[in-house]
Amino acid sequence: MKNPHIHCYTRVFTAILKSAGIVTKGSISHRTVSHILMGGYVGGQVQLGFEMAEAETLTGSGDGTSHHNVQYYSWHINLKARDYESSDGAKQHVTCFLGITLSFDSSSEESIKDWNLVLDSIVDLYNCSPLGKWHGSILCTVNIFAKLVGMMTDHYAKEKKDVHMLEELKIAAVKQQLGKQKTLNSDNQELVPKFYVKYCKVISKSGGTCVWNALPLETQ
pLDDT, mean of residues 143-161: 86
Are 198 and 117 found together in one domain? no
pLDDT band at 5 (very low <50, low <70, confident <90, very high): low
Residues 6+ away with beta carbon under 8 Å from 141: 116, 119, 120, 123
Most confidently modeled of 11-15, 121-125, 192-196? Answer: 121-125
On whether residue 48 sits in a domain, the answer given is yes
pLDDT, mean of residues 181-203: 89
Name the residue range of residue 203's domain: 186-220
Encode pLDDT of 57-93 as tens digits.
999 888 878 888 888 888 899 999 888 888 887 888 9
Are 109 and 128 found together in one domain? yes
Are 54 and 159 found together in one domain? yes
On whether residue 61 sits in a domain, the answer given is yes
- Count up the domains in the chain and report the number: 2
Q: Please, where are the H alpha helices in the chain?
A: 6-19, 30-54, 108-128, 130-135, 141-147, 157-184, 188-206, 209-214
Nearest Cα neighbor of 139 from 149, 151, 126, 152 is 126
Are 95 and 176 found together in one domain? yes
pLDDT, mean of residues 38-52: 90
Q: What pLDDT score was predicted for residue 50?
A: 92
pLDDT at 190 over 50: yes
pLDDT, mean of residues 131-135: 88
Mean pLDDT, the chain, integer: 86
d(CA 220, CA 215): 6
- Overall size of the chain counted in residues: 220
pLDDT band at 48 (very low <50, low <70, confident <90, very high): very high
pLDDT at 177 over 80: yes
pLDDT band at 112 (very low <50, low <70, confident <90, very high): confident
d(CA 146, CA 175): 9
Are 119 and 194 found together in one domain? no
Are 97 and 196 found together in one domain? no
pLDDT at 6 over 80: no
Q: In this structure, is the dihedral angle defined by the CA atoms of residues 210, 213, 219 and 220, taken in order, positive or negative? A: positive
Give how far Cα 109 sits from Cα of 82, 112, 116, 127, 172, Å.
Answer: 34, 5, 11, 27, 16
Give the rounded percent of residues in the chain with a pLDDT score beyond 90. 29
d(CA 33, CA 13): 9
Are 118 and 158 found together in one domain? yes
d(CA 141, CA 173): 9
